Structure 1
């Protein structure tokens, strides 16, 4: 590929270049044609990110079975021996969030809320609806709409009782019906079992119910960014806990890249196995949690070389603190995803 794309002059400084020159002697720019088709550009991008060369294979063995070794090697100056920590993090975070995005159903909110409403009578009603014709089903839907629209004009007590019996599916239907005003929908929502406020306007609450599936998709897309933002906070916790040690903050950030990459690799694999083989039990997830926790503890123990009990105390302080930050970050991420609807 490189030989086919060499040119006779440097695109940066204009110096003439013989065919055997891979780099310009004057400015150092690589001797290759930068104008390439989209296919070649994407091929080079994917290759640069995911090329599994000998270095990556060597890194993988150390990464999986020798906690802390990659971090110690990188911080000691061995930058070319193993795959760069950021690249390792990107590979396994992309793997993990791809699995999450692939497995989580787009209508997850609908499924969760609808599954809680199912009762024996509703199952019978569903069987009846399945047996009626399409035209009869449309007539039934129109009749239900007409009844729901009349709710605000009926006796208040009766209105409350009808609103409380609204299913999530009916509430969603109301939210997307252009003939239902914002005031009418807001009043019905407040009297239903799904009332919520969170400081949002009536329009925003209606938008959430109407676009609950989009909300799930948006939240999943924002997760990688949220975790990347929280990673420096993890490094800061480690830096504070080991402030008496002579080390730089960036060294703790490298540790964070490696620990998070390992968690992504293991949790992603477990989620993939559970989904592929339809495993309902959580025993694999529990084993993965123990392995990730043990891996992180051993890595910190080897890096800072303190007594195992003292390290254990600091490790639990780190775990609890970071867990609380994760919860706060997740709540903020969901809140922002809702605002962006």
Structure 2
């Protein structure tokens, strides 16, 4: 129930109907003051999105611990007791990708990696050449043993740098164009390979390895919610094709899909923060075992969840439900794999 002050005027601002109590009996609008603080706007937005009462927490509990119970209750008519499916999905999707973008995991992983690894600086950062090392040895500043050690480190660094460049054998676009124009048929590449290599070399010329990885990761993460949202109708269509068309209309399968995808996003968010929590502590065998156990349970629940949800919702025999569930999961995994590859390619094309 809202705690905002009511207007003294009992005429509804929306439909001019007489308001006896707090809400207009004609249109349902609350008869409160129109001027609000930023805090009130934010709270009002959150309340509208989640209802911010028992319905929200009841929905989350059912979603996480009672597979398909939320869908069954919603389709049976109990709609005010739970959050609407589309609103639930939008809220969880928004929170999940917002928090993941605000608290990236790679920075935590990098800081942990630096504790356990010795970082070898590049040749450019050291400004050291083998000739200068030989010179220091000749004048007696460095021993021959230290000379050999430094040379070995520099050679390893050069090899690492060469591997990180990943130029596929071409140093520049000009070199690629020259080979493609003047080279023999044996060294030429196909038109598809040429397009890919030219795009890659253009990206390499304008960005460092770190910038490419960062831009690719950011673009992939930012566009993933759109891909998931666009894929849900496909998932619902596959469910519809596997079940009785008259008993289960497409709308019913769509509600099941919204709840299932909301569950997946919620569990991904929980596992994400569990992972970040354990990164705050120094690694010990006990903590690693606890962390692994929690991730194993979460991963198992993510995979297993669909099977009881499918059986309870569609009310089929165990073996039939198991067969259909397995087939649906396999088909969707194949489609998702293709979509991820295409999405990664799209992300790659749009790196500047």
- TM tier, shorter chain? 0.5 to 0.7
Structure 2 CA distance for aligned equivalents of residues 265 and 301 of structure 1: 22
Partner of 1:69: 69
The 5 A counterparts of 1:60-139 are 60-101=60-101, 102-105=103-106, 126=121, 137=127
Partner of 1:261: 262
Range with bigger deviation, 46-55 or 234-243: 46-55
CA drift of 1:66 comes to 2.0
Partner of 1:155: none
CA drift of 1:197 comes to 4.4
Does the Cα contact within 8 Å between 1:232 and 1:253 map onto a contact in 2?
yes
CA drift of 1:323 comes to 0.9
Distance 1:197 1:165, change over 3 A: farther
- 2:218 partner SS: helix
CA drift of 1:127 comes to 8.6
CA drift of 1:314 comes to 0.5
Distance 1:205 1:84, change over 3 A: farther
Does the Cα contact within 8 Å between 2:17 and 2:26 map onto a contact in 1?
no
Partner of 2:324: 314
Q: Does 1:298 align with 2:308?
A: yes
1:152-202 CA distance string (max 9 Å, x none):
xxxxxxxxxx9997353697xxxxxxxx985369889xx9xxxx9483473
1:44-75 CA distance string (max 9 Å, x none):
21232245411223333333332111111111
Partner of 1:202: 198
Distance 1:303 1:198, change over 3 A: farther
- 1:252 partner SS: helix
CA drift of 1:288 comes to 2.3
Q: Does 1:168 align with 2:161?
A: no
Partner of 2:46: 46
Question: Aligned match of 1:183 in 161, 174, 179?
Answer: 174
Structure 1 CA distance for aligned equivalents of residues 80 and 27 of structure 2: 24
Q: Does 1:330 align with 2:321?
A: no
Structure 2 CA distance for aligned equivalents of residues 73 and 61 of structure 1: 13
Structure 1 CA distance for aligned equivalents of residues 119 and 93 of structure 2: 45
Structure 2 CA distance for aligned equivalents of residues 34 and 304 of structure 1: 47
What TM-score do the two structures reach when normalised by structure 1? 0.68
What is the Cα-based RMSD across aligned positions, in Å?
A: 4.1
CA drift of 1:7 comes to 6.6
1:19-53 CA distance string (max 9 Å, x none):
x5534566554433445444432332123224541
Range with bigger deviation, 53-62 or 254-263: 53-62
What TM-score do the two structures reach when normalised by structure 2? 0.66
Q: How many residues align?
A: 287
Structure 2 CA distance for aligned equivalents of residues 255 and 124 of structure 1: 50
Partner of 2:22: 22
CA drift of 1:336 comes to 2.4
